[in-house]
Amino acid sequence: MAHNILSLIIYLIIAFLLGSAMVWRFMDPRDMYESVPEGPTTFEECVAAGYPVEESYPARCSAPEKMFTEDIGNEQERKNIVRISYPRPNATITSPLSLSGEARGTWYFEASFPIELHDEEGNLIVQHFAEAQGEWMTESFVPFKGTLIFEKPKGTRGTLILRKDNPSGLPENDSSLIVPVRF
């Protein structure tokens, strides 16, 4: 009888060890520790989480492990060539969208340049052109205006692109101002 009880205890210990080994084998080691939420991965998530935002341009949000910078497109790189007054980067837009700003005369061809609106997946929603509001045969800044009429896309973000008119078609003459927008 003592032999049967000893055998039963040994079988139970072996079963326990095998069961523990199976659980250990198929368990994700990260599940063994308390779940720690990951920090923000974007500027928007950083702001939504309530981390401090610097009053700078572009704005910067300081999370404990990382600094996030607001996406303003390539406005800083193009500011000596083309400037957009409306819509500003990350503005919420609706149709009809009236654009305004100023561009150097070299940005235009025959007093206009192409403008495009893309959805968050990069699909073209609408394209049209902006027109110079003054003498464009100059290297100085010339005001422009343009209007885009479009149906609201499914997503919440998009990109407005102001393209330098390039009648030559040569890639080295291409340039564009990229402005992130919201719908």
* Nearest-angstrom CA–CA distance, 123 and 92: 18
What are the residue ranges spanned by the domains of the chain?
30-69, 75-182
DSSP 50: T
pTM listed for this prediction: 0.75
Per-residue pLDDT of the chain (183 residues; tens, 9 = 90+): 666 777 767 776 777 777 776 666 666 655 555 555 678 999 999 999 999 999 999 999 999 989 999 999 999 999 999 999 999 999 999 999 999 999 999 999 999 999 999 999 999 999 999 999 999 999 999 999 999 999 999 999 999 999 999 999 999 999 999 999 999
Number of Cβ atoms within 10 Å of the Cβ of 84: 24
Residue keyed to tokens 């699909």: 123
Class of the CATH-defined domain 75-182: mainly beta
Query: What counts of helices (H) and strands (E) characterise the chain?
Result: 3, 10
